[in-house]
Structure 1
Amino acid sequence: MASSNLKDNLEKLQIVAKERTVKTQNIEYDLETLVKKIKKGIIKLNPDYQRNHRWNDSESSRLMESLILNIPIPTVYLSQDVDVDEEVDDDVARYSVIDGQQRLTAIYGFMTNAYKLEGLEVLELLNGSYYKDLPPFLIRRLEERTIKCLRIDSTVDPQVKFDIFERLNSGAVQLESQELRNAIYRGKFNDIIKELAKNEDFRKLLGIDLKNPEENNKVKKMQDVEYVLRFYSYIDGEGENMKKSFKDFLSEQMDKYNKFDSNDLERLKKHFEKVMSFIIIQLGTDAFAKYKVENEKLKLQSHFNAAVYDAISIAISDKIMEDETFTITTQMKQRLKQLFFNDDFIDSINGSTNDKSKILKRIKIVKGVLK
């Protein structure tokens, strides 16, 4: 049966296989060349990866120790964003890093004296040393040490790059989906959602300390940015367009919004800011809290829940789009709290919460009580 089905779909299979086949080229760079290319911006180390660099100095130091000792390290995968023979300005990146961001950041950081070695066991005599402090023979050894790189052709579309990145994402500290999107779907919309994730009202609603936001896991893993993306992915009935998995749908939305012009993006930005300000004024900082029923009373489970966030933020956004004078009455506030006694609503915020049916269901239910 399977064999018969394959024969019937052979042409389709050939087309898909051809489209998804990735053109690559193996190359080796010595560390001195890599550092120069990063410094010139030829190889793009995303600034947000610098901010969200997940290795501490001890982990970075151990990599440098491995390089000095000539211990093999995994291949670095580069996306060729501009054809190597194409004339481009010096400030245009030719390559972005698909896999190996942490390794290259650690190498670049040490070889530009951004941190000193620590926690070394084999070469413990080097602990406390910056790159400039190393004896000349070790500097030469590092400069001449090569790393295998695999360059992926510039014609590969963003979704294929995302797939490759996800499959290669096997480091000790795995990257989150939004970190992958941040690397692949660069553009004005990507910049805007990162900016909006820092909005004070939004951070209060997510329970992020305004004084030390970088200590919060939502910020470290770019979950806050993904929550902004979720907002734009569902507003004004956008959720109806979900045909693939939740993860792929968010990636498609990133790609779509990145093509919007500056005026449309500015309008979307102001709308998000308006909705978050409205919510915090009308419902307070626990607007997206989740409750459970115990002894016929509501007990706080968490101050922020992503599914509750979807339901309330999108429902309110849609109401404001329909009527700019919309406000939340005392009766509406009471009905919102009573939702946690509603079995249908509870079902929509539990279990497989990213299923299209559950997302649309919980938004519809909340919109129903805001009448």
Structure 2
Amino acid sequence: MSRFLNTTNRTIVWFKKTNDAGDLQMKPPFQRNPVWTWPQKSYLIDSILNGYPVPEIYMQEFVDEDGNEQHIIIDGQQRIRTCLDFIEGKFFIKEDESPTWGGMSFDDLSGDDKKKIFGYIFIARILPEMSDDAIRGIFQRLNKNVVALNKQELRQATYWGPFITTMQEISNYNYWSTTGIFTPLNVRRMMDVEFISELAIAVIHGHQNKKENIDRYYQEYEDDFEQRDDLISVIAPI
């Protein structure tokens, strides 16, 4: 039997408790940023309240060398994040997406409906321990036919060395949010990281004419990025 056929059941309250304990990783390096819209989130919550089935999620679970259980969501982070955000009151159900619960937040639900949320069961397919490249390959296959990945999201699914992590670090500087250079959609689709990558490459190597050069430098700096500190010293003052 295939080693990918092992499944288990995980309730939403299990995900909440595991996440609250800091033992749930929903943003492994190869995942793109969440891109779900408010209607999509509302539709999922309505489906859960109605008891409808939703697609299974893919996870990796293992015990590390320190004896700590690790739970990593390989595919399905948007579904789980939506559930946890709804419970935390971060959005309410859009009226157009739910004739019964439209306009309601989690706190507005009845006790029975809250139980439906907490007790809803996700089917989780548990992957065995495997190399990072193998996991990355599975993630790319799972997302091949869903919301199309743009070039930067594809890079995120391919590279996770010191260069791209530095670009992500720089993208979190307050300057970008306070100046409003990037829209929330830009950030969700990682266009800010792509722009900062172009800026960094221009600082190090001069102006480039093609975005395709980004991939070349991502490859070049995948294992070592000696110019990191010099680049930070130039960009940090902004």
Q: Quote the residue 2:12 is aligned against.
A: 31
The aligned amino acid for 1:38 is N
Alignment partner of 1:160 out of 108, 127, 134: 134
Alignment partner of 2:188 out of 217, 220, 242: 220
Q: Kindly indicate whether the alpha-carbon contact (under 8 Å) linking 2:28 and 2:74 is maintained by their aligned counterparts in 1.
A: no
Deviation at 1:41, TM superposition (A): 2.4
Q: Quote the residue 2:63 is aligned against.
A: 84
Q: Kindly indicate whether the alpha-carbon contact (under 8 Å) linking 1:68 and 1:142 is maintained by their aligned counterparts in 2.
A: yes
Asked if 1:268 corresponds to 2:228, the answer is yes
Q: Quote the residue 1:137 is aligned against.
A: 112
Change (3 A) 1:133 1:225: same
Change (3 A) 1:186 1:44: farther
Distance, in Å, in 2 between the alignment partners of 1:128 and 1:47 is 33
Deviation at 1:197, TM superposition (A): 4.1
Return the structure number with greater helix share.
Answer: 1
Residue by residue over 1:42-81, the C-alpha shift from the partner in whole angstroms, topping out at 9 and shown as x without a partner, is: 22123999x943223222111011111122111111244x
The aligned amino acid for 1:145 is Y
Deviation at 1:273, TM superposition (A): 6.0
TM-score, length of structure 2 as denominator length? 0.72
Unaligned runs of 5+ in 1: 1-20, 204-208, 237-244, 278-371
> C-alpha root-mean-square deviation of aligned residues, in Å?
4.1
Alignment partner of 1:256 out of 202, 213, 223: 223
Alignment partner of 2:165 out of 191, 201, 213: 191
Deviation at 1:185, TM superposition (A): 5.7
Residue by residue over 1:207-236, the C-alpha shift from the partner in whole angstroms, topping out at 9 and shown as x without a partner, is: xx962233176543213424555766xx78
Distance, in Å, in 2 between the alignment partners of 1:249 and 1:96 is 30
Larger Rg computed on CA atoms: 1
Distance, in Å, in 2 between the alignment partners of 1:71 and 1:254 is 46
Change (3 A) 1:214 1:39: farther
Unaligned runs of 5+ in 2: 206-211
Change (3 A) 1:73 1:247: farther
Alignment partner of 2:90 out of 109, 114, 117: 114
Deviation at 1:167, TM superposition (A): 1.1
Q: Quote the residue 2:40 is aligned against.
A: 59
Structure-to-structure mapping, 1:1-371, within 5 angstroms: 25-46=6-27, 52-80=33-61, 83-84=62-63, 87-88=66-67, 94-121=70-97, 123-154=98-129, 156-170=130-144, 173-176=147-150, 178-179=152-153, 182=156, 189-197=163-171, 211-215=179-183, 218-226=186-194, 255-257=222-224, 264=226, 267-271=227-231, 274=234
TM-score, length of structure 1 as denominator length? 0.49
3-state SS in 2 of match to 1:147: strand
Q: Kindly indicate whether the alpha-carbon contact (under 8 Å) linking 2:56 and 2:125 is maintained by their aligned counterparts in 1.
A: yes
Change (3 A) 1:171 1:128: farther
Q: Quote the residue 2:209 is aligned against.
A: none
Change (3 A) 1:114 1:220: closer
Identity %: 22
3-state SS in 1 of match to 2:93: coil
3-state SS in 2 of match to 1:102: helix
Q: Kindly indicate whether the alpha-carbon contact (under 8 Å) linking 2:58 and 2:74 is maintained by their aligned counterparts in 1.
A: yes
Distance, in Å, in 2 between the alignment partners of 1:39 and 1:171 is 32
Deviation at 1:33, TM superposition (A): 0.6
